Amino acid sequence: MSQRFCRHHRLLWSSTRTVATAANKQAMEIFQVFKNGPGFGVSASQVKVLTEPSQYYDKLVSLVQGAERRISIASLYLGTGDKSENLVNVVKKRLHEKNGDVQLRVVLDHSRGTRLSSGQTSCSMLLPLVQDYKVNSANTNPKIQCNFFSS
């Protein structure tokens, strides 16, 4: 019995080592991509992990309110609820406050961004912002781009 256990244990150890070696090799390949690809360095003290959706939303609103040159939002979808409507209003307010000096770029997934929910889509949530800004802005090139990504 002890001989069988030892053989089984050796086999298990050998299999584990093979899996670990393969995982290490794959991790090294991924590391090389990141090492040689575009990126930027950041200190760990400058990173704050957001653990709740409400934290993300609050931070997004705060960043939009403080935007000086550009607002860029890339997302699967915007949503159609109260928080989405408030976010659009915050963006709209910031664009008006900065009188055309802030660029807005929004990229959403085409399928999710045009999906109907409660009679609206992410696209229809953005439409009043785009229409109002173009009509009321003295700027002939109102620096707003809303795009949909489709694969």
Give per-residue pLDDT as tens, 94-149.
Answer: 988 988 788 899 999 999 889 998 889 998 998 888 777 665 555 545 578 888 88
> Considering only 21-25, 45-49, 83-87, 96-100, which range has the smallest mean pLDDT?
21-25
Phi, psi of 62 (to 5 degrees): -60, -45
73 beta partners: 106
pLDDT at 151: 75
Region 26-52 average pLDDT: 79
User: How do the domains of the chain map onto residue ranges?
Assistant: 1-39, 44-149
- Confidence class for position 71, pLDDT limits 50, 70, 90: very high
Domain spanning 44-149: which CATH class is it, in words? alpha beta
pLDDT at 10: 44
Give per-residue pLDDT as tens, 3-27.
Answer: 444 444 444 444 444 555 666 777 7
pLDDT at 7: 45
Are the beta carbons of 122 and 77 closer than 8 angstroms?
A: yes
pLDDT at 60: 94
pLDDT at 21: 63
Inform me whether the pLDDT recorded for 34 exceeds 70. no
Inform me whether the pLDDT recorded for 32 exceeds 90. no
- Confidence class for position 91, pLDDT limits 50, 70, 90: very high
- CA torsion angle 54 56 57 60 (round to 10): 160
